[in-house]
Amino acid sequence: MRIVAGTLRSRQLKSLKGLALRPTSDRLRETLFNILGARVEGSRFLDLFAGSGAIGIEAISRGAVSAVFVENHSAAVRLIRANLASLRIESGARVVLAEVAAAIRTLEKLPDTAFDFIFLDPPYAEEKQYEGTLRALEKSLLAGESTIVIAEHRKTFELPASLGALERVRRLHQGDAALSFYRKRLPQNNLARAI
């Protein structure tokens, strides 16, 4: 597993053997960040169910000013910290050991709560985590009017087209995986903006 582009391009990331991590493939990560494009530079990024931290680290490599990594397995948290240390990422990264729902509540209490991008990638087998997390984000201050929420999921698993104010504005698949992009509906015209 490697960093695809940016200041840390081609640097290797560690993964855990034996732990049920399913890292986002290099190819899918490249597709995701090609879609997000120049908007990543200077952004604030939230990586939920962070696993190895590859998504948030890719965001930092591409110019995000900060990334928060949320993971509830202590071995994965140690892995994220080891990856950050090996890449000498000393500022702009925060690792939170917690369940996602608890982390959302904690992060909402901090100043500058809204993130530019929120990525979630629960274990594919835990399908209920998707809707629960999207519903929590829909009501959360972490997802502002300009926030793009991205869910990675199994291609054969269909996420809802909308959840409250969150509207899916794009869906793409690559291999067995899919990415669903959500934005909050604008109050004045009740329409979400495309990616």
**Which pairing describes strands 177-184 and 143-154: parallel, antiparallel, or unpaired?**
antiparallel
- Token pair recorded at residue 40: 């990543």
| pLDDT interval class at 183 (50, 70, 90) | very high
53: left (phi over 0), alpha (psi -120 to 50) or beta: left
Helix, strand, coil % in the chain, rounded to nearest 5: 30, 30, 45
> Is 95 strand, coil or helix?
strand
Kind and range of the H or E run holding 170: strand 166-174
pLDDT of residue 191: 57
The full length of the chain comes to: 195
For the chain, what is the mean pLDDT?
A: 89
pLDDT at 78: 94
* Mean pLDDT score, 42-61: 95
pTM, entire model: 0.91
Task: Please tell me the distance from the alpha carbon of residue 149 to that of residue 184, in angstroms, as a whole number.
Answer: 9
Pick the CATH number of 26-184 from 3.40.50.2000, 2.40.110.10, 3.40.50.11720, 3.40.50.150: 3.40.50.150
pLDDT tens for each residue of 163-177: 999 999 999 999 899
4 contact partners, CB below 8 Å, separation of at least 6: 26, 29, 30, 33, 58
Segments making up each domain of the chain, as ranges: 26-184
Residue that is written with structure tokens 């500058």 in the block: 112
Cα torsion through 9, 14, 17, 22, rounded to 10:
-50
Alpha carbon 49 to its chain centroid, in Å, reads: 8
Reported as a single tens digit per residue, the pLDDT across 52-110 is 899 999 999 999 999 999 999 999 999 999 999 998 998 899 999 999 999 999 999 98
Q: Output the six-digit token pair for 62.
A: 């591409």
pLDDT for 15 equals: 79
Give 118-154 pLDDT, tens digit per residue. 999 998 888 899 999 999 999 999 999 999 999 999 9
